[in-house]
Structure 1
Amino acid sequence: MRSIRRRLSSAELYMYGRKGVLIPLDDYLADHAPNFYALLEQYPELRQGLTMPVGMPFWVNGKWLERLGMQEPATTDELLAYLRAVRDTNLNGNGVQDEIPVASVGITPLLDQLKGAFGLGNRGIAHRFVDVDEETIRWMDYFFGEEGATLFFMGEEGRTYDKKPDGSLVFKESIAQAEGGLTLDQALIPYVTWMGGSYPGFVREAYFQGSETRPEAMASAEKARPYIPSEVWGRFNFTEEESLWMSTAGLDI
């Protein structure tokens, strides 16, 4: 499955919120997004940074479906099973397991094909990102919890990472010391979707073990600890008037 990635600027969020295009989710978070709500309670700075101042069908190879003895996928689980079967079967008969189960010119077409399964874009092409399904909120909230964050950032247990007796997570050697000169991030690309773009989630060291949490990076961070500012500001959310000033006179300054 692919993650939903979509970002509006703070100015757009404020503008559309005032116009009623976007509605406040405050009253829904406790019941429908418990993981995200817990993070807001634990880290008040997250709430400050987020508070404003006021499907296409699946296209599959019919001949391969017939050879695999499978029906045309109707759910994301069935699609995943089909893609794995293509990957693991020598369908072109060349004796080499080189079948590519899915291809695209970029991530956007894949998201367009899958987002309908998660309640997005189901009201016509004029409203590609409108969501009226509470299940989608719960799906996104899943990635703010321990299980979802582990899956999103670390991949599959036993395949990309192992859990040590003390509960800590460590990438398998095939990922951490990948062959062919691949970096850790490059070795992870086939298994996770967090690299590049926006995503639902809160990055924490326990679940995120990219290059930023490598021993050498952490050692450098420790050297900088004595110089960390006593107060760190998050991204500002401006009013409409402030946004206008920031994009004109403020930009010139």
Structure 2
Amino acid sequence: MRLKKVFVVLLCISFVLSLVVGCTSSETADKEGQKQEGESVSKQTDQEEEAKEDEDVPPYLNKEGFPIVKEPITLRFMVRQTPVQPPHEEIFVWQEYEKMTGVKIEWINVPDTDLAEKRNLAIASGDLPDAFIRCNFPDLDVLRYGEQGIFIELNDLIDKYAPNLKACMEKYPEVKKGLPEYNGKIYATPVLFDSEAIQMGTRLFIRRTWVDKLGLSMPTTTDELYNVLKAFKEGDPNGNGQADEIPWTSSDLTAIEGVLKGAWGLQNRGSKHPYVDMNEETNELRFIYTTDEMKELWQYLNKLYVEGLLDQEIFTMDHPKLIAKGEQNLVGAFCFVNSQAIGATHEKEYEGIPEALEGPHGHKIWAGKGPVLSSKGSFQITSACKYPEVAIRWIDYFYSEEGATFFYMGVEGVTYKRNPDGTLEYTIPELESMPEGTSFDQIVGKYTPYMGGGNPQITMTHYFKGGETHPIPLKAAQNVAPYAPKEIWAGFNFTIEEAERLNELQSDIHSYINTMRAEFISGKTSFDQWDEYVQQIEKMGLKEYMEIYQKGYERYKSN
């Protein structure tokens, strides 16, 4: 009897367990079915969206890869042609790119000297090319012609057909902030620099052979710089028995001022904003040229000038004069973006300063660094273009590392090689034995289109072979790079009305500053007149100037 009861209990338990397992299995199956159904719906939705996108792709266009078009298409581009370049249709890279893309470009070559006239005539006459490339439109003109519909809006085109430029905008926050206009629209593709060699701008080079000869050390402070320059003046380092040394010179005075700004804590948001930066104590915008710090900087330069440590011709200097003085074995220190500016004879005797100079109040900033977004107006598609999707895909390739390498170097195995250490080297035969009177730029300019700058692409050091990347200036840039401001501003965006008014104010105020800079530093005007100088700038509309700048800054922050 007891066994029978046990059997009945076990039977009941078995029955209950079977129900539980069955329910669980059923629930699991239901969930799996729902999951699969959800995944199927999601997959179907993605496929439908992709199909819809494909439907939106014009029938003549390949959305990805090369060629860009299914059948050959011709576009007309107006392009700036520098003196070292042949007509663009003769440049090797463009010829190869036509084969890759299936897009033939009819180039309207415009010499540098005629550029403003020709581009303005094209706009005024309505005889528009399909696109302008490297035509150096001012930011205000890009905005104006965009709002007039002459330059088409690129936002949707970039989103659909320019994955490389889109990736750059995501990678570099300042590009995403600075490229759109005040209205959020993009009317041009930019010039981008992700290269210490270029971004560090003007460098300070000091003649190391003279430093060693006089038993000195390379300067790391403004006081040490003064001492080195004084030794150059008095120690006859060129050994000719004459006191003819020029301790410090440059092609212009603003370059010298620029390499010193960071030593007084000025221009602390980079070189794109040489007149306005951030007051670190109040966290408010600051006009640089009315500060006590700028007064001190100019007093320092006045001291150098009066004592003959600064070139007495600094107010009228230019590049040819700098080279001439360098070749005459006169120069102890100079400022430029590369070391070639001093001439070939003594170039290798110079080195960049080992670090940013520290000023009298402990500031130690390299203020000359520029933003990744160098210019936002390098390539504009016009309303005359029947194939804007083709044009944007055509230019987008150069915002990839592969495309930019092709732009600068050409074709691997034909115009350049990749060395075992990863560096790239031109293999153009003419470079082996350059004919007399022919320059590097002239030879390379026949193969690649980058000469003259202002190119719509991203530039990186390892494939850019300009003077800034040569060993001496490259090391100089690397020395000061750790001292660059943590935040670098790209250009701000203004409405047309704001930009026009700001241009008027800047024209008068900046011109006055240029005049008074020379007056103060030369000693023609006493620093006792500093307050009057500041008051004059204020009378010229500084308050309105800064109010407009504030609006641009707030837009920049909000992007």
TM-score by structure 1 length? 0.62
Q: Is the 8 A contact 2:157 2:392 kept in 1?
A: no
The 1:215–1:174 alpha-carbon spacing in structure 2 relative to 1, beyond 3 Å, is: farther
In structure 2, C-alpha distance between the alignment counterparts of 1:219 and 1:167, rounded to whole Å: 18
The answer to whether the aligner puts 1:153 opposite 2:282 as a matched pair is no
Aligned position for 1:190? 446
Bigger drift between 19-28 and 140-149 goes to 19-28
Alignment of 1:38-117 (within 5 A): 38-54=167-183
The answer to whether the aligner puts 1:141 opposite 2:270 as a matched pair is no
Which of 150, 160, 172 aligns to 2:427? It is 172
In structure 2, C-alpha distance between the alignment counterparts of 1:221 and 1:198, rounded to whole Å: 21
Aligned position for 2:147? 18
Aligned position for 1:115? none
Q: Is the 8 A contact 2:408 2:448 kept in 1?
A: yes
The answer to whether the aligner puts 1:213 opposite 2:469 as a matched pair is yes
TM-aligned CA deviation for residue 174 of structure 1: 4.6
The 1:16–1:189 alpha-carbon spacing in structure 2 relative to 1, beyond 3 Å, is: closer
The 1:16–1:179 alpha-carbon spacing in structure 2 relative to 1, beyond 3 Å, is: closer
TM-aligned CA deviation for residue 217 of structure 1: 1.4
1:162 alignment partner, SS class: strand
Aligned position for 2:386? 132
In structure 2, C-alpha distance between the alignment counterparts of 1:53 and 1:148, rounded to whole Å: 30
The 1:244–1:5 alpha-carbon spacing in structure 2 relative to 1, beyond 3 Å, is: closer
Which of 478, 496, 509 aligns to 1:240? It is 496
In structure 1, C-alpha distance between the alignment counterparts of 2:433 and 2:178, rounded to whole Å: 38
In structure 1, C-alpha distance between the alignment counterparts of 2:421 and 2:159, rounded to whole Å: 31
TM-aligned CA deviation for residue 52 of structure 1: 0.4
1:235 alignment partner, SS class: coil
TM-aligned CA deviation for residue 25 of structure 1: 1.8
AA in 2 matched with 1:232: I
| Superimposed CA distance per residue, residues 117-142 of structure 1 (whole angstroms, 9 cap, x where no aligned partner) | xxx8xxxxxx7x73231111111112
2:145 alignment partner, SS class: helix
In structure 2, C-alpha distance between the alignment counterparts of 1:153 and 1:178, rounded to whole Å: 21
TM-aligned CA deviation for residue 205 of structure 1: 1.3
1:206 alignment partner, SS class: helix
The 1:192–1:159 alpha-carbon spacing in structure 2 relative to 1, beyond 3 Å, is: same
Q: Is the 8 A contact 1:175 1:184 kept in 2?
A: no
The 1:175–1:211 alpha-carbon spacing in structure 2 relative to 1, beyond 3 Å, is: farther
Q: Is the 8 A contact 2:182 2:494 kept in 1?
A: yes
AA in 1 matched with 2:434: E
| Superimposed CA distance per residue, residues 58-86 of structure 1 (whole angstroms, 9 cap, x where no aligned partner) | xxxxxxxxxxxxxxxxxxxxxxxxxxxxx
Bigger drift between 139-148 and 224-233 goes to 224-233
RMSD: 2.7
In structure 2, C-alpha distance between the alignment counterparts of 1:9 and 1:130, rounded to whole Å: 21
- Counting aligned pairs with the same residue, the percent is 38
Q: Is the 8 A contact 1:32 1:138 kept in 2?
A: yes
In structure 1, C-alpha distance between the alignment counterparts of 2:507 and 2:412, rounded to whole Å: 47
The structure whose RCO (Cα within 8 Å, separation 6+) is larger is 1
Q: Is the 8 A contact 2:412 2:418 kept in 1?
A: yes
Bigger drift between 202-211 and 232-241 goes to 232-241
Q: Is the 8 A contact 1:40 1:46 kept in 2?
A: yes
| Superimposed CA distance per residue, residues 90-131 of structure 1 (whole angstroms, 9 cap, x where no aligned partner) | xxxxxxxxxxxxxxxxxxxxxxxxxxxxxx8xxxxxx7x732
AA in 1 matched with 2:390: E
In structure 1, C-alpha distance between the alignment counterparts of 2:497 and 2:475, rounded to whole Å: 43
Q: Which runs of 4+ in 1 moved over 6 A?
A: none
Which of 507, 513, 523 aligns to 1:251? It is 507
Aligned position for 1:76? none
Segments of 5+ residues of structure 2 without an aligned counterpart are: 1-88, 95-106, 108-132, 184-380, 510-559
| Number of equivalent positions | 181
Q: Is the 8 A contact 1:155 1:161 kept in 2?
A: yes
Aligned position for 2:64? none
Q: Is the 8 A contact 2:398 2:456 kept in 1?
A: yes
Point out the structure with the larger strand share.
2
TM-aligned CA deviation for residue 8 of structure 1: 2.6
| Superimposed CA distance per residue, residues 186-205 of structure 1 (whole angstroms, 9 cap, x where no aligned partner) | 33111111112532211111
Q: Is the 8 A contact 1:5 1:198 kept in 2?
A: yes
TM-aligned CA deviation for residue 167 of structure 1: 4.2
In structure 1, C-alpha distance between the alignment counterparts of 2:411 and 2:176, rounded to whole Å: 31
